[in-house]
Amino acid sequence: MLRQIGAVTMINLRSIPQRWGMSLATVLSVALVVGVLLGFLAMANGFRATVDGTGSDDVAVVIGANSQTELNSGLGRDAVRLIEAGPGIAVDASGDPIISAELYVIANGRKRSSDTDANLPLRGVGENAPSLRNGFSLTEGRMFASGSNELVVGEGVLREFSGFEMGETIRLGSNEWRVVGIFSTGGSVFDSEIWADLGVIQNLYQRTGTVQSVRARLTSPEALAELQAYVENEPRLEADVSSERQFFASTAGGTSNIILFLGWPLAIIMAVGALAGAWNAMYASVDARTREIATLRAIGFAGFPAFVGTMTESLLLASIGGLIGAGITYLVFDGVSASTLGGGFTQIVFSFAVTPAAIVSGVVLALVVGAAGGFFPAIRAARVSILKAQG
Amino acid sequence: MNDATLIRKSLFRKKTRAILLVLSIMTAFLIFAVLGAFSRSLNSGVETAAADRLVTLNAINFTLTMPYAYWGRVAQVDGVQAVTHASWFGGYYQEPRNFIQAFSVDMESYLQVYSELEPVEGELATLFERRDCAAIGADLLSQYGWTQGQRIPLNSNIWRKEDGSQVWDLELCVVFDAQDQDVPTNYILLNYDYYNEALAFNRDQIGWLILTTGDPSINDRVSQEIDALFANSPAETETSTEAAFGQAFLEQLGNIGLILTLVIGAAFATILMIVGTTMVMAINERTKEVAVMKTLGFAPPRIFVHVLSESVLLSLVGGLIGLGLAAILLAGVGAMLAGQLPGLRMTWVIAGQAIALMIAFGLVTGLMPAINAMRINIVDGLGKE
């Protein structure tokens, strides 16, 4: 039996070149379906990786009560002082709590891809800000000098927006700013931001004395509950505390969901189209070999090997298509930089990521198309009557 | 037996194959129509923008405000016919995820500048007089099952009142709509005065100004004059046409148009390949039959037309079913998303484009087989099994 299966399968595969038109169409259409699906998955994964990579468990983010995002939060000087005095916050070598009060405003940047303006987050920070971002490093230049019109720019901003190269001068409103450094936080959301001195930003945006968020280094991830309890029980403080991981998870789920909810249905609808193609190709293949199969039956081959032979051919064609689609998507899309509006109403720069899991999904989809497309033609091949050998 | 019957018979001779082909063509046009409607809905703000309408924004970014006094100063600029202002309210209903577009505006001048908006229910006089009166777009009204005259508490996720609350109590006094279905009416307008007097911070500031010039040819001059007016002030401005602003905002979402085009292109390439090769194969199988027809006196051009009509018919059957499915799908989804994506529906333009594509698609896939069939030599054809 096994030898029969092997023989029929080899006959099928060797005869593919005779039907190259239909076979090629099947391979290419499956490749396109897989390519579209992987393209969307790469976009969603890249976006999610950027957002997920941002959250840290041992950094607490404090924003005004019921604000949901930094953009519309407001905390006064007194609030900052009260948070500073809270429990569970780590201290530096000189005994000061490691916290950073920050103001987050929106500025315009010019996108390289479309040459149009897009919202960029401009963050006013103090000297502790870098130590509160895991993986922060200056890749070029230096930090801004306190009180000056100097900026440091995230790598993502540099990649997607023009005019932020080292030493460039940028006009925001009536002020001129100079880029003195480029920083990286290893692909997190902060790479899409521009940082400047808190006091200068407060003045420029007429927000003297108020900040939007306070970040604090916790002594351990468990200390979060302690700080939360403290803030809740402090009547002078109306604020919400969460870990940075929770904070980003709650603000940025929407965009990657939209990408996913568009990608999968599209891939499935297109897969139906490709399925019809595969099905046709396999019917054609069985039709073309009706006499051949009947002859095999006449000389003693059973129906089952004919079934397996046709299924194998279909699965092989589909998996070749799947691999071609995955390969092309990987070569074209992996690492491509893009940006879109994120939860904070500002641009988040991210890179497309074609992950192994996505490739597996793509190949599985291809195999499903191959299996479904080959099944009925294979049954038909198994049932070919011996009499057909004469026709 | 006339030609039409002949075409129909040969098309559906192999039922499974014909059904599968119809299925693939159907998916291509389903994707085309649905994505086309999405892209149209996204772009509706750009397409329905009036040519003589300008928008003045804070030059740093449009999320920043400008002083209320700018309104009066822009009104003085030569060439400005009517000017109004609006501020982003950041509204939601009960829960933050029930996001609602809301603007606080000066009602009288707003309805003057946006002349395409027409009140369809309620009294304008009440709207202008009572501060807690709001005007609601027809697209949005149905989404939450509200009715005219109902009171709703509208939350803001940006603005706090002096008393600490973020809820504005509104009465839906007027429902407005536009005759052109493509003009979005998926938002609420509330009275600026009502909003401004309760604000805890940022009082006497407005979000942006909208003005009409009456003549697109003076747009550039008017824009420059307005921006010059506020140069070197803490709130410098940038004035552009309504369409340019809408386009720039869309760009922020990333290149959606390109993605949609690529997906539609990929779907069509897939289907074209499948249908094309199947057609070639189907005609090859019929070589003998075509030879018989030629023997019977069918002229080559007539056979050419036969085969071509067959593929066009196939494309139309599959395409029209896909178009029908898309229309049903869009009717359902469109009602659900009226608040977010106004005007999401099948239009005659999309249907027309789709039908033109179906015919083109049928011609392209049928051309090769039709030429082959026309060229079949009677002697060779009859010899073939």
Closest CA to A64 of B307, B166, B216: B166
CA distances from B116 to B130, B222, B344 (A): 23, 22, 19
Query: Can you tell me the distance from the alpha carbon of A265 to that of B272, in angstroms, rounded to the nearest whole number?
Result: 21
Contact by Cβ (8 Å): B54, B46: no
Helix, strand, coil tally for chain A in percent (to 5):
50, 20, 25
Q: In chain B, what is the straight-line distance between the N-terminal and C-terminal CA atoms, in Å?
A: 26
A114 touches B at CB < 8 Å: yes
Is the CB of A270 less than 8 angstroms away from the CB of B266? yes
Query: Can you tell me the distance from the alpha carbon of A94 to that of A96, in angstroms, rounded to the nearest whole number?
Result: 6
Q: Which of the residue ranges A134-148, B102-116, B119-133, B249-263 would you say has the lowest mean pLDDT?
A: B249-263
pLDDT digits (tens, 9 = 90+) for A153-166: 999 999 999 989 99
Report chain A's mean pLDDT, rounded to a whole number: 86
Chain A positions in Cβ-Cβ contact with residue B21 (cut-off 8 Å) = 276, 280
Query: Can you tell me the distance from the alpha carbon of B188 to that of B179, in angstroms, rounded to the nearest whole number?
Result: 18
Is the CB of B31 less than 8 angstroms away from the CB of A277? no
Percent of chain A at pLDDT > 90 equals 36
Closest CA to B190 of B101, B116, B70: B101
Whole-number pLDDT of residue B280:
80
pLDDT digits (tens, 9 = 90+) for B324-346: 999 999 988 877 777 667 778 88
Query: Can you tell me the distance from the alpha carbon of A366 to that of A30, in angstroms, rounded to the nearest whole number?
Result: 6
Whole-number pLDDT of residue A253:
57
Residue B228 — very low, low, confident or very high, per pLDDT cuts 50/70/90?
A: very high
Q: Which three-class secondary structure state does DSSP give residue B381? A: helix
Is the CB of A280 less than 8 angstroms away from the CB of B274? yes
Chain A positions in Cβ-Cβ contact with residue B61 (cut-off 8 Å) = 105-108, 119
Residue B131 dihedral angles phi and psi, to the nearest 5° = -70, -30
Per-residue pLDDT averaged across B55-84, rounded?
91
Chain B positions in Cβ-Cβ contact with residue A108 (cut-off 8 Å) = 59-61
Contact by Cβ (8 Å): B155, B166: yes
A206 touches B at CB < 8 Å: yes
A91 CA: distance to closest CA in chain B (Å): 33
Query: Can you tell me the distance from the alpha carbon of B362 to that of B313, in angstroms, rounded to the nearest whole number?
Result: 7
B279 pLDDT higher than 90: no
Is the CB of A29 less than 8 angstroms away from the CB of B276? no
Residue of B nearest to A203 (CA): B234
- How many CB contacts within 8 angstroms connect chain A with chain B? 139
pLDDT digits (tens, 9 = 90+) for B170-207: 999 999 998 887 888 889 999 999 999 988 778 899 99
Chain B positions in Cβ-Cβ contact with residue A71 (cut-off 8 Å) = 63, 158
Contact by Cβ (8 Å): A185, A134: yes
Both tokens assigned to A175? 């002020």
Residue of B nearest to A116 (CA): B248
Contact by Cβ (8 Å): B366, B307: yes
Q: Which of A68, A114, A284 is nearest residue B157 as measured by Cβ atoms?
A: A68
Query: Can you tell me the distance from the alpha carbon of B157 to that of B11, in angstroms, rounded to the nearest whole number?
Result: 60
Is the CB of B61 less than 8 angstroms away from the CB of A67? no
Q: Which three-class secondary structure state does DSSP give residue B65? A: coil
Is the CB of B273 less than 8 angstroms away from the CB of A67? no
pLDDT digits (tens, 9 = 90+) for A253-300: 566 666 677 777 878 888 888 888 788 878 877 877 788 888 888 888
B58 CA: distance to closest CA in chain A (Å): 8
A266 touches B at CB < 8 Å: yes
Sign of CA dihedral A12, A15, A17, A20: negative
Residue B384 — very low, low, confident or very high, per pLDDT cuts 50/70/90?
A: low
Whole-number pLDDT of residue A368:
92
B1 pLDDT higher than 60: no
Query: Would you tell me which residues 18-37 of chain A have a C-beta closer than 8 angstroms to some C-beta of chain B?
Result: 21-22, 24-26, 28-29, 32-33, 35-36
B121 pLDDT higher than 80: yes
Contact by Cβ (8 Å): A188, A237: no
Taking each helix axis from N to C end, the angle separating A253-288 and A244-251, rounded to the nearest 10 degrees, works out to 60
Per-residue pLDDT averaged across A43-69, rounded?
83
Where on the phi/psi map is residue A335: left (φ > 0), alpha (ψ -120 to 50), or beta?
left
Percent of chain B at pLDDT > 90 equals 40
Is the CB of A266 less than 8 angstroms away from the CB of B31? yes
Within chain B, where are the H helices?
A: 3-11, 15-47, 69-75, 107-113, 124-129, 138-143, 192-198, 219-229, 242-252, 256-285, 287-295, 300-336, 348-375, 378-383
Whole-number pLDDT of residue B292:
87
Per-residue pLDDT averaged across B217-233, rounded?
92
Whole-number pLDDT of residue A165:
92
Burial grade of A282 (CB within 10 A; 0-12, 13-18, 19 or more) = buried
Is the CB of B63 less than 8 angstroms away from the CB of A72? no
Q: Which of A108, A116, A339 is nearest residue B61 as measured by Cβ atoms?
A: A108
Sequence-separated (6 or more) residues with CB below 8 Å from residue A284:
A19, A22, B278, B281
Residue of A nearest to B261 (CA): A36
Interface pTM, i.e. ipTM: 0.76
A203 touches B at CB < 8 Å: no
A121 CA: distance to closest CA in chain B (Å): 10
Is the CB of A273 less than 8 angstroms away from the CB of B270? yes
Percent of chain B at pLDDT > 70 equals 98
**What's at A202, amino acid-wise?**
Q
pLDDT digits (tens, 9 = 90+) for A339-390: 887 766 778 888 889 999 999 999 999 999 999 989 989 998 888 887 776 6
Whole-number pLDDT of residue B241:
92
Chain B positions in Cβ-Cβ contact with residue A33 (cut-off 8 Å) = 270
Closest CA to A351 of A197, A184, A222: A184
Q: Which of the residue ranges A239-253, B48-62, B212-226 would you say has the lowest mean pLDDT?
A: A239-253
Report the run of H or E that residue A296 belongs to, with start and end: helix A290-298
A214 CA: distance to closest CA in chain B (Å): 18
Is the CB of B31 less than 8 angstroms away from the CB of A270? yes
Percent of chain A at pLDDT > 70 equals 96
Best of A16, A33, A34, A108 to disrupt the B interface by mutation (most B CBs within 10 Å)?
A108
Whole-number pLDDT of residue B249:
78
Chain A positions in Cβ-Cβ contact with residue B16 (cut-off 8 Å) = 279, 283
Q: Which of B63, B262, B280 is nearest residue A345 as measured by Cβ atoms?
A: B63
Query: Can you tell me the distance from the alpha carbon of A150 to that of A180, in angstroms, rounded to the nearest whole number?
Result: 6
Cβ atoms within 10 Å, residue B54: 26
CA A98 to chain centre: 32
Q: Which of B60, B157, B274 is nearest residue A173 as measured by Cβ atoms?
A: B60
Query: Can you tell me the distance from the alpha carbon of B344 to that of A84, in angstroms, rounded to the nearest whole number?
Result: 51
Q: Which of A105, A108, A339 is nearest residue B254 as measured by Cβ atoms?
A: A339
Whole-number pLDDT of residue A151:
93
CA distances from A157 to A147, A163, A173, A248, B201 (A): 23, 10, 19, 19, 31
Best of B17, B20, B336 to disrupt the A interface by mutation (most A CBs within 10 Å)?
B20
Residue of A nearest to B265 (CA): A32
B256 pLDDT higher than 90: no
A319 touches B at CB < 8 Å: no
Q: Which of the residue ranges A122-126, A153-157, A252-256, B249-253 would you say has the lowest mean pLDDT?
A: A252-256
Burial grade of B55 (CB within 10 A; 0-12, 13-18, 19 or more) = buried
Contact by Cβ (8 Å): A55, A253: no
Contact by Cβ (8 Å): B195, B65: no
Report the run of H or E that residue A107 belongs to, with start and end: strand A99-111
Q: Which of B16, B96, B233 is nearest residue A68 as measured by Cβ atoms?
A: B96
pLDDT digits (tens, 9 = 90+) for B12-49: 778 888 888 898 899 989 999 998 888 888 887 777 88
B306 CA: distance to closest CA in chain A (Å): 22
Whole-number pLDDT of residue A89:
92
